Amino acid sequence: MSMITNLIDRNWLDYLCVNLDIYRIGSLNLPLIEKKNLDELIAEIIEVRACRVITMSGYTLKSTLNNLQLIEDSEDNGSLWVIENIAMLWQSSSLTDRQILEQTIIDLAIAIRDRRIAVIAIDYGVNQLPYQLKPLIPHHILPLPTPAAIKSILAEFRLTSNRLTTICAGLGCEEIRVGLRIALKTTHAIAIDADQIEQSLLKYKIAKLKEVGLEFLGAPDVSEFGGLDRIAAGTIEVIKDFSPQAQKVGIARPKGWLFVGPPGTGKTHTAKCIATQLRWPLVSVGIDAIKEGGADLLKSLLVRIEATAPCVVYFDELDKFFSSTTDAQILGVILTWLQEKTSETFVIATLNRLEKLPPELTRAGRFDRQFYIGFPNELERYQIIRLYAGRYDPVYQSSVYGGLDRQQWLNLLNETEKFTGAELKQIVDRAAKLDFYQHNSTLINYQNLMSARKDTVSLYERNPEGILAIENQAKRFSEPASSKNNTEESLFKVESINLFGS
């Protein structure tokens, strides 16, 4: 049994049919993989609307225009006209042909307003009718299967598992079936191995979502923030806000945070740490995919994200999403979603220059908080170096000073002022390699750290004026990621001396 219509949310189907009764015309997007189930979908619509169906396909402008005119001239009543590939044709047409097609569709929508027929334009993938027609022609996207529907699909394969149901969330009906076939084929044991099926299906899901523009980012190489005490404290609050107890008393679910700061200061690492603390997957929205697919693709990706919840949604360099002619549509989709979402999704967006971001995104109701993540202070540099050094040399995990003495730490921290977290990691990695080249070990000593420091030119050293401009502008409008007084806890704080003796 592979009828997709048995798995459709009935509320969505009723909503679609009500729209057809009101507007008399509508558009619907199906994933290409679901095209095989089109007949069953139409049959379900016919059953709800009690009508007969006439299906047409238009592959050229001439044939499509003829089909639209045939519908307008028809005296038939009580029918549902289904016409495929109009949006695909519009996307591939010249400006003149687009205008002709748009006007013909408008004429049809007006002509059938008081008649007892309906027209539904079906396209596949993310192709949609032009934006300016949407007030006349409501657009619909086939919803992803609900947990109950996923369980029905699993039952087709004689499988039942809450874990499998969770893994399948975010995939379409046929995508789930393909993934299960692959999983069962790769499981060679005589008895069904649930763990192998889950692992195979999860691997398939990660690859499938990456194809459409969603990438699951792995855990950070070190799971601690490395300073950033205000973000660490805020993360604990977010965890509490998402808890069942908070929801029971009406606490609003958090929407997300915006991170601003120079490149390499640890914004992505911080996002990974937050996801780790929440114990949720980190899903990155690909800018290249959005640039190619536009607002329509973004909408479909957000549907998948909502189905995959709970998760942390990551927009890296958010300002780059708004640098083309699709700015207004993409911005509108993101604004609406951030404003209205109530799902267990927490959004983290990063950018380098705040002035490049549309001001609408920084208004209240979009992001809960806006942090400036800049150059780590003395204590934070010490913590970051220790964290990364501890991966190579255990002494940095068990000893306060690790393999250095106090004066060596003072020298190293003084030499790495205005260094980013990424640059500090680079220094530690280089120091470990130097010891490996010399002694086939990875002990982190002072000489190799200072040698690696001399070989590393920081971003600030390369462009101090540009970095200071980013820093000064971001600090004015963002709260700091670190407390001002946390340097007082530093082991290396030098006591002040009163030269005047009073």
Q: What is the pLDDT of residue 500?
A: 38
Residue 496 predicted with pLDDT over 60: no
| Fold adopted by 378-462 | Helicase, Ruva Protein; domain 3 (1.10.8)
DSSP assignment string, 436-453 = HHHHSS----HHHHHHHH
For position 408, what pLDDT does the model report? Answer: 94
CA-closest candidate to residue 26, choices 77, 75, 69, 83: 83
Are 129 and 120 contacting, i.e. CB atoms less than 8 angstroms apart? no
Helices (H), 213-352: 229-241, 244-248, 267-278, 287-308, 327-340
Q: Tell me: the pLDDT tens digits for 131-147?
A: 788 888 988 888 888 88
pLDDT band at 206 (very low <50, low <70, confident <90, very high): very high
Segment 144-196, tens digit of pLDDT: 888 888 998 999 898 888 999 999 999 988 899 999 999 888 765 555 678 88
CATH architecture of the domain with residue range 4-141: 3-Layer(aba) Sandwich (3.40)
Query: How far apart are alpha carbons 249 and 143 in whole angstroms?
Result: 31
- Strands 282-285 and 311-315, bridge-based pairing: parallel
- For the segment 420-448, the average pLDDT, to the nearest whole number, is 94
Give every CB contact of residue 347 below 8 A, 6+ residues apart in sequence.
Answer: 255, 256, 257, 312, 313, 314, 315, 338, 367
Query: Is residue 242 pLDDT above 90, yes or no?
Result: yes
Residue 254: cis peptide before it, omega within 30 degrees of 0: no
Judge whether 257 and 414 are in contact, CB under 8 Å.
no
Residue pLDDT, tens place only, 348-365: 999 887 777 787 887 877
Amino acid identity for residue 349 in this structure: A
Burial class (CB in 10 A: 0-12, 13-18, 19+), 403: middle
Q: Per the structure block, which two tokens stand in for 482?
A: 């670190």
Q: What are the angstrom distances between the C-alpha of 28 and each of 35, 103, 128, 209?
A: 12, 20, 8, 21
Q: Would you state the pLDDT for residue 471?
A: 81
What is the per-residue pLDDT for 5? 47
Out of 1.20.120.430, 3.20.20.10, 3.40.50.300, 3.90.550.10, the CATH code matching 229-372 is 3.40.50.300
Q: How far apart are CA 396 and CA 394, in angstroms?
A: 5
Q: What is the pLDDT of residue 495?
A: 45
| 318 vs 58 pLDDT, higher one | 318
First to last CA, the chain: 90
Percent of the chain scoring above 70 in pLDDT:
91
Please state the rounded mean pLDDT for residues 382-404. 90
Instruction: Answer whether residue 333 shows pLDDT above 50.
Output: yes
* Entry pTM: 0.79
pLDDT of residue 222: 66
User: For the stretch 206-222, what's the b/e string if a residue is b when 16 or more beta carbons lie within 10 angstroms of its beta carbon?
Assistant: eebbeebbbebbeebeb
Neighbouring C-beta atoms of residue 193, cutoff 10 Å: 15
- Side-chain half-sphere exposure of 291, counting CA atoms within 13 A: 10
